[in-house]
Amino acid sequence: MSVSKVIKQKSYEKIIFVLHRHPFTFIPVVLLFIVLLLTPVALYFMINSLYPQLFLNTEIKTTFILFGSVYYLSTYLFFYVRFLDFYLDMWIVTNDRIVDIEQHGLFHREITELDLYRIQDATATVQGFFATIFQYGDVFIKTASSNTNIIFKNVHRPNHVREQLIKLADEDRKYHMQDIKLDMN
């Protein structure tokens, strides 16, 4: 499915950015997943070396296989949910608006739209050693409304994104100047 169908793109709209989290930010989850997968194997070899007669008993062996299966299914589900949260979070910036699509778990998605001319401030932050080296960080977008602030989390080149957003907001504000004057009256 194309991005233009997801956001119901208007005829005059052009997609400027489709932003996702930086891939480097998913590496800790992958490393945790690998550790969780290797833990039962290490535990099996440790128990087998300490108590070699233990796994000769059919009931005990079946119980370990059952608990191992439940453990691996839970681990795969954990990884799948984290991957979906990482992969399906996206921010789409057009020449008219910002669409914030956030996935929370398997069955919860939030979609927020913000007109560019309503942006009052955009701030980019890069915190940490790896964020500085791999050039990713957060972009905070503030509006006059207290409930419509949007955060682009761990996006690549946040300073460039912030600069482009400010330019786009200024251009869109010029176009919507009549609407802004009507809102003030």
Question: Which residue, chain included where needed, has tokens 């409304």?
Answer: 145
Instruction: Give residue 1's pLDDT band: very low, low, confident or very high (50, 70, 90).
Output: low
How do residues 125-158 score in pLDDT, each as one tens digit? 999 999 999 999 999 998 877 677 789 999 999 9
Q: How far is CA 3 from CA 18, 70, 167, 169, in A?
A: 8, 37, 23, 21
How do residues 18-32 score in pLDDT, each as one tens digit? 999 999 999 999 999
Which of the two residues, 183 and 90, has the higher pLDDT score? 90
Domains in the chain: boundaries? 14-22+90-184, 27-85
- Which of these, 83, 95, 149, lies nearest to 120 by C-alpha position? 149
In the predicted model, is pLDDT for residue 106 greater than 70?
Answer: yes
- Which of these, 164, 156, 94, 157, lies nearest to 122 by C-alpha position? 164
| CATH for the stretch 14-22+90-184 | 2.30.29
Instruction: Give residue 86's pLDDT band: very low, low, confident or very high (50, 70, 90).
Output: very high
Q: In what order do the strands lie in the sheet with 15-19?
A: 15-19, 90-94, 97-103, 109-115
Q: How far is CA 161 from CA 22, 95, 122, 164, in A?
A: 13, 13, 9, 5
Query: Rounded to whole angstroms, how far apart are CA atoms 149 and 151?
Result: 7
